[in-house]
Amino acid sequence: MKVKVTLPRNITDETGVAKTRKMSDGSTVLDLVRSMGVRPDEVLALVSGSPVPMDRVLHDGDEVELLTIVSGG
């Protein structure tokens, strides 16, 4: 299956560029995040604009956006 993923600038040199990724059927958001070399504890995943847990199973054509989690005071 193919999913479209958009990464924030601090993860990639290209701001907001969507990339198509081939994933195996039954892959989860966590699988996708790890396949991109991103630490899962540093991002929030949105699928079609809504936050989802890392164990959400992906479907062909899903649009995933990864947002960097920022903390501090």
Read off the pLDDT of residues 14-56 as tens digits, 9 standing for 90 and up: 556 678 999 999 999 999 999 988 889 989 999 999 999 999 9
The number of distinct structural domains making up the chain is 1
**Cα–Cα distance between 62 and 66 in angstroms, integer?**
13
Residue 36 lies in a domain: yes
Residue 73 lies in a domain: no
- The whole-model pTM stands at 0.85
Alpha-carbon span 64 to 49, nearest angstrom:
8
Phi, psi of 42 (to 5 degrees): -110, 0
The domain that contains 44 carries what CATH number?
A: 3.10.20.30
**Listed residue (33, 34, 24) closest to 67, CA to CA:** 33
